[in-house]
Amino acid sequence: MKLVINKVGLQGTIDIPSDKSISHRSIMFGAIAHGTTTIKNFLRGDDCLSTLQAFRDLGVQIEDDGNVITVHGKGFSGLTATKQAIDVGNSGTTIRLIMGILAGTSFTTTLFGDHSIAKRPMNRVILPMNQMGAKCFGHDGTEFPPITVEGTKNLQAIHYQMPVASAQVKSAILFAALQAKGESVILEKEKTRDHTEDMIRQFGGEITVSGKEIRVTGPQQLKGQEVNIPGDISSAAFFLAAASIIADSRIVLNNVGLNPTRTGIIDVIKQMGGKLTIEETGNKENKAGTLTIETSELKGIEISGEIIPRLIDELPIIALLATQAQGTTIIRDAEELKVKETNRIDAVANELNKMGASIEPTEDGLIIHGKTSLHGAKVTSYGDHRIGMMLQIAALLVKEGTVELEKAEAISVSYPAFFEDLNTLYQ
Ligand code: S3P
């Protein structure tokens, strides 16, 4: 599709769509808890709809009146074998987290997805699940999907030092640990998003977290709850970037979730010299806020180490920010970007360089030389929603020519109304 270019100044207010990570988990927790869970502000993006369908396939009754979603949970043992393999679409969160839930069932399930899912590394989940007593394996002796999970009612607790910083892997182990006998101890490589830990507590479970060490004793029974999901900071990030780098802009973003394990983008924008104000609206357990962002002069910075998992999904849009900052930005310790929906290190460098940026891909990140002016080009999202949205924001900087985006439809994975919301900001 042809992207919008050459608009001056973005002004307005956006209600940020709901958090993708919490939406997935709200269905999962509703399904494995006993009793009714009601979910307000569920994200109806393709990925979360894959999770919803997966649990219907597993025999869970889930109603959607277009507003509230109601999940009738019957506990872990209420799940039933599917008639066919489960299709997770493009969703890494669905396939990885579900493996932890299926590990404790008494049946066998196969999980498959699209071209991108077929390339996502799964040993990171397969190995700990097998260590706990389940039998998980990939396609044709590989670690790649389709994945088969042979569950066991005899799951054992695990002591696990995580080799990667991954909330998906941690969450799969936590779901299995809730069903295993005894105390499981997980040591994270770096602290990653902690929505699963929060929701174990919210659903009446017990979990102890001390720095990077997490302890759960199973088996546990959870109880259905009312869940109200805040906006996704990862979706807000595109407007935070757009307002910062497009002259004469000011955007207000309502109801943005501000869980501290997710707010690395805020730290980066401030460090680069962005004009951002935050008015907190949530409570202590569920931090949220209204963010107001204005155009500013930015400077290049270094981004590495423990902040990386706090902004892992925002690195493509941060790279675009860096093309408009004075000086060099260096992103390190982000090799996980290579195994996202696409190789985001290569995708960012290839596509933005086609538009005139000066970006060097490295083994574990990107070196971005600013400030560059961008021009029209034919670009692709590689079927990756976050690359697609980043390229539309990049297109807004183009003064001449056209930007043609291939595979724009991928954006509906996390933000189906992205183009409509963006449209409301033109003066
Ligand atoms: C997610 C964890 C992250 C993130 C993904 C969502 C989650 O993946 O990139 O978009 O909801 O747990 P990893 O766990 O692979 O880092």
Strands, E, within 168-212: which ranges?
182-187, 208-210
CA–CA separation, 369 vs 387, rounded Å? 19
3-class SS at 167?
helix
- Annotate 367-404 with DSSP letters as a single string: EEEE------EEEE-TT-HHHHHHHHHHHTT--SS-EE
DSSP type of residue 2: B
Q: What confidence category does residue 357 fall into, taking pLDDT thresholds of 50, 70 and 90? A: very high
- What confidence score (pLDDT) does residue 6 get? 72
- Please check whether residue 64 is in contact with residue 55, taking contact to mean a CB–CB distance below 8 angstroms: no
Whether ligand 1 lies within 6 angstroms of the CB of 335 is answered as no
Ligand 1 pocket test, candidate residues 93, 389, 414, most atoms within 8 A of CB: 93
- Annotate 211-274 with DSSP letters as a single string: TTEEEEEE----B--EEEPPBPHHHHHHHHHHHHHSTT-EEEEEEEE--GGGTHHHHHHHHHT-
- Determine the average pLDDT of the residues in 165-192: 98
Tell me the CA distances in angstroms from 14 to 392, 411, 421, one per residue in order. 17, 17, 7
Whether ligand 1 lies within 6 angstroms of the CB of 312 is answered as yes
Longest dimension (CA), the chain: 64
In a 10 Å sphere around its CB, with 0-12 CB exposed, 13-18 middle and 19+ buried, how is residue 66 labelled? exposed
DSSP type of residue 156: B
- What confidence score (pLDDT) does residue 104 get? 98
Whether ligand 1 lies within 6 angstroms of the CB of 329 is answered as no
CA angle centred on 120, ends 115 and 123, rounded to 5°: 140
For 15-46, the pLDDT digits (tens) are: 999 999 999 999 999 999 999 999 999 999 99
Does the pLDDT at position 5 exceed 90? no
Whether ligand 1 lies within 6 angstroms of the CB of 313 is answered as yes
Q: How large a percentage of the chain has pLDDT more than 90?
A: 96
Q: For residue 102, which of 76, 123, 128 has the smallest C-alpha distance?
A: 76
- Determine the average pLDDT of the residues in 206-232: 98
- What confidence score (pLDDT) does residue 426 get? 86
R_g (Cα) of the chain, nearest Å: 21
Q: How large a percentage of the chain has pLDDT more than 70?
A: 100
Give the position, in ligand 1's atom list, of the atom nearest the Cα of 97: 12
Whether ligand 1 lies within 6 angstroms of the CB of 166 is answered as yes
Is 313 a catalytic site residue? yes
Ligand 1 pocket test, candidate residues 19, 21, 23, most atoms within 8 A of CB: 21
Mean pLDDT for the chain overall:
97
- What confidence score (pLDDT) does residue 399 get? 87
Q: Could you tell me whether strands 61-64 and 86-87 are parallel, antiparallel, or unpaired per DSSP bridges?
A: unpaired
Whether ligand 1 lies within 6 angstroms of the CB of 19 is answered as no
Does the pLDDT at position 52 exceed 80? yes
CATH number, span 20-228? 3.65.10.10
DSSP H or E segment with residue 94 = helix 92-102
Q: Could you tell me whether strands 403-406 and 377-380 are parallel, antiparallel, or unpaired per DSSP bridges?
A: parallel
Q: Which of 19, 57, 313, 421 is catalytic?
A: 313
- What confidence score (pLDDT) does residue 285 get? 77
Ligand 1 pocket test, candidate residues 169, 175, 193, 265, most atoms within 8 A of CB: 193
Place of tokens 């982000």: 334
Place of tokens 């307002």: 243
User: How many angstroms does the Cα of residue 186 sit away from the middle of ligand 1?
Assistant: 17
168 is in an annotated binding site: yes
- Helix, strand, coil in percent for the chain, rounding step 5: 35, 25, 35
Q: What confidence category does residue 282 fall into, taking pLDDT thresholds of 50, 70 and 90? A: confident
Tokens of 113: 């997805």
Residue nearest to atom 11 of ligand 1 (CA): 21
- Annotate 345-365 with DSSP letters as a single string: HHHHHHHHHHTT-EEEEETTE
313 is in an annotated binding site: yes
Close Cβ partners of 179 (under 8 Å, ≥ 6 residues apart) = 76, 103, 104, 155, 218, 219
Whether ligand 1 lies within 6 angstroms of the CB of 188 is answered as no
- What confidence score (pLDDT) does residue 8 get? 83
Q: What confidence category does residue 400 fall into, taking pLDDT thresholds of 50, 70 and 90? A: confident
120 is in an annotated binding site: yes
CA–CA separation, 175 vs 136, rounded Å? 15
414 is in an annotated binding site: no
Close Cβ partners of 168 (under 8 Å, ≥ 6 residues apart) = 92, 93, 96, 97, 125
Tokens of 126: 């397969």
Give the position, in ligand 1's atom list, of the atom nearest the Cα of 313: 9
For 172, list phi and psi in degrees, rounded to 5. Answer: -60, -45
Whether ligand 1 lies within 6 angstroms of the CB of 82 is answered as no
- Annotate 262-310 with DSSP letters as a single string: GTHHHHHHHHHT-EEEEEE-S-SSS-EEEEEEE----B--EE-GGGGGG
- Determine the average pLDDT of the residues in 304-313: 98
Does the pLDDT at position 241 exceed 80? yes
Distance between terminal CA atoms of the chain? Answer: 22
Q: Enumerate the CATH 3.65.10.10 domain ranges in the chain, comma separated.
A: 2-18+230-425, 20-228
- Please check whether residue 254 is in contact with residue 331, taking contact to mean a CB–CB distance below 8 angstroms: no
- What confidence score (pLDDT) does residue 283 get? 82
For 242-263, the pLDDT digits (tens) are: 999 999 999 999 999 999 999 9
Does the pLDDT at position 4 exceed 90? no
For 117-136, the pLDDT digits (tens) are: 999 999 999 999 999 999 99
CA angle centred on 195, ends 51 and 281, rounded to 5°: 110
Close Cβ partners of 224 (under 8 Å, ≥ 6 residues apart) = 30, 33, 34, 35, 36, 37, 71, 73, 203
Q: What confidence category does residue 427 fall into, taking pLDDT thresholds of 50, 70 and 90? A: low
For 206-217, the pLDDT digits (tens) are: 999 999 999 999
User: How many angstroms does the Cα of residue 168 sit away from the middle of ligand 1?
Assistant: 5
Architecture per CATH, domain 2-18+230-425, reads as Alpha-beta prism (3.65)
